[in-house]
């Protein structure tokens, strides 16, 4: 196990890979994140909210040991960034009236293309939040979009990247234009959030709401991470990890939900991470080449760091917690994304700090589960 720096610059605030995405093709890995400026009085996150954040992208060609970093090659609405954090300084101009406003996709996306990637983005977290998406057919070297997502009849949609391309498994049709996505909507009171799944079967021209994973969560459910499983009948099963918080706002954990009917209905399965520390942290979940599930997350209480758990039975039970690192300067860490490289090692990318007054940077832990 070893750690590498992906992006680290004194005085800067680099954060939240979980808000963007990670994609891999063997040992070629691409991850998204954002960069702004550090500020000691920034609150829970020590960032300067008066200065712009920029959408960034890092690429490794050797399984995560070395990285090239640059600004993400995409158009952002209003010429700003593509996440809620980057819209802190945005005007109240409706998204549809901004430069580079998201437009409907004409359809025909082939989600099964070998170099395909998709990324979701949003303007906010609560009522009024709008979301959109980008697609790439060249391993994230260029992005098409932004393309609009519907509101699905909700007060706000706060999308992060979580999608399952395997439409033939879900529909039995072999249709390459089919894709399922897992999104967060605001609650009826306008606060975040609750998770639902949606689908397109015409290559992104239209989208249909399928179901709530938990229609009335205890406090909030946000930031899903989903993988395929085989249902008892041999059909399309899905397990989705969810970042959860209680109604009082003083306990955070990760729950796992399961569907055995292609997302039409869901049941609670397990709690892989009963405690993610004060403020909580989202899950990153992948299926390993040996069939196990691997879930990684940040832990925000002391000693702050990055942790993982493994399951040999599709999430019914989980093994002992694995501490990947516990040397964080404070709670302002985590939001991981993970992939497995050719040699079986997992590359977990996250944001981190060594001390409260120091810069926030993007790091990766390369480890063998």
Q: Taking the alpha carbons of 105, 107, 111, 112 in that order, is the dihedral positive or negative? A: negative
Mean pLDDT of 84-108: 76
pLDDT value of position 322: 98
Of all residues in the chain, the percent with pLDDT exceeding 70 is: 94
Strands 54-60 vs 334-340: parallel, antiparallel or unpaired: unpaired
Q: How far is CA 306 from the centre of its chain?
A: 16
Tell me the pLDDT band of 170, cut-offs 50, 70 and 90.
very low
**CATH fold of the domain at 2-367:** Neuraminidase (2.120.10)
Per-residue model confidence as pLDDT tens digits over 149-162: 999 999 999 999 99
pLDDT value of position 55: 94
164 pLDDT exceeds 90? yes
pLDDT value of position 325: 98
Stated pTM of the model: 0.95
pLDDT value of position 179: 95
pLDDT value of position 76: 87
Supply the Cα-derived Rg of the chain in whole angstroms: 19
How does DSSP assign 15-48, residue by residue? E-GGGT-EEEETTEEEEEEEEEEB-TTSTTS-B-
Counted residue by residue, the chain has a size of 369
pLDDT value of position 96: 80
167 pLDDT exceeds 70? no
The answer to whether the beta carbons of residues 110 and 88 sit under 8 Å apart is no
Instruction: Give the span between the Cα atoms of 47 and 99, in whole angstroms.
Output: 26
Per-residue model confidence as pLDDT tens digits over 285-299: 999 999 999 999 999
Angle (nearest 5°) at CA 52 between 48 and 55: 115
Main-chain dihedrals φ then ψ at residue 360, nearest 5 degrees = -95, 135
Whole-number mean pLDDT of the chain?
92
Mean pLDDT of 238-259: 96
pLDDT value of position 172: 47
Whose CA is closest to 185, among 174, 194, 176? 194
Instruction: Give the span between the Cα atoms of 39 and 46, in whole angstroms.
Output: 5
Most confident by average pLDDT, 47-51, 92-96, 100-104, 250-254: 250-254
pLDDT value of position 124: 85
Residues 6+ apart with CB under 8 A from 234: none
1 pLDDT exceeds 90? yes
Number of Cβ within a 10 Å radius of residue 64:
25
The answer to whether the beta carbons of residues 101 and 95 sit under 8 Å apart is yes
């Amino acid at each position: 196990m070893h750690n590498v720096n992906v992006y680290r610059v004194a005085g800067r605030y680099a954060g939240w890979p979980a808000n963007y995405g990670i994609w891999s093709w063997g040992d070629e890995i691409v991850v998204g994140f954002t960069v702004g400026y550090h500020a000691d009085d920034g609150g829970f996150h020590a960032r300067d909210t008066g200065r712009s954040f920029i959408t960034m992208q890092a690429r490794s060609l050797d399984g995560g040991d070395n990285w090239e970093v640059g600004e993400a090659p995409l158009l952002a609405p209003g010429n700003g960034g593509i996440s809620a954090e980057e819209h802190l300084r945005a005007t109240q101009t409706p998204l549809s009236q901004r430069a580079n406003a998201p437009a409907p996709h004409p359809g025909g996306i082939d989600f099964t293309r070998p170099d395909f990637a998709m990324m979701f983005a949003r303007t906010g977290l609560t009522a009024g939040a709008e979301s959109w998406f980008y697609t790439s057919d060249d391993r994230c070297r260029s992005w098409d979009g932004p393309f609009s997502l519907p509101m699905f009849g909700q007060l706000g949609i706060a999308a992060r990247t979580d999608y399952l391309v395997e439409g033939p498994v879900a529909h039995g049709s072999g249709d390459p234009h089919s894709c399922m996505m897992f999104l967060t909507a605001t609650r009826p009171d306008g606060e975040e959030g609750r998770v639902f799944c949606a689908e397109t079967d015409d290559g992104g021209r239209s989208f249909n709401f399928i179901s709530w994973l938990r229609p009335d969560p205890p406090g909030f459910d946000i930031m899903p991470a989903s993988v395929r499983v085989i249902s008892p009948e041999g059909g399309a099963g899905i397990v989705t990890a969810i970042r959860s918080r209680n109604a009082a706002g003083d306990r955070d954990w990760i729950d796992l939900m399961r569907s055995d009917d292609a997302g039409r209905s869901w049941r609670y399965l397990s709690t892989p991470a009963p405690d993610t520390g004060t403020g909580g942290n989202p899950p990153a979940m992948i299926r390993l080449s040996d069939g196990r599930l691997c879930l990684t997350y940040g832990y925000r209480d002391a000693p702050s760091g990055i942790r993982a758990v493994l399951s040999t039975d599709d999430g019914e039970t989980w093994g002992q917690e694995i501490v990947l690192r516990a040397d964080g300067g404070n709670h302002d860490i985590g939001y991981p994304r993970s992939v497995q490289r050719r040699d079986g090692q997992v590359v977990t990318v996250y944001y981190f700090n060594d001390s409260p007054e120091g810069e926030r940077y993007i790091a990766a832990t390369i480890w063998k589960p």
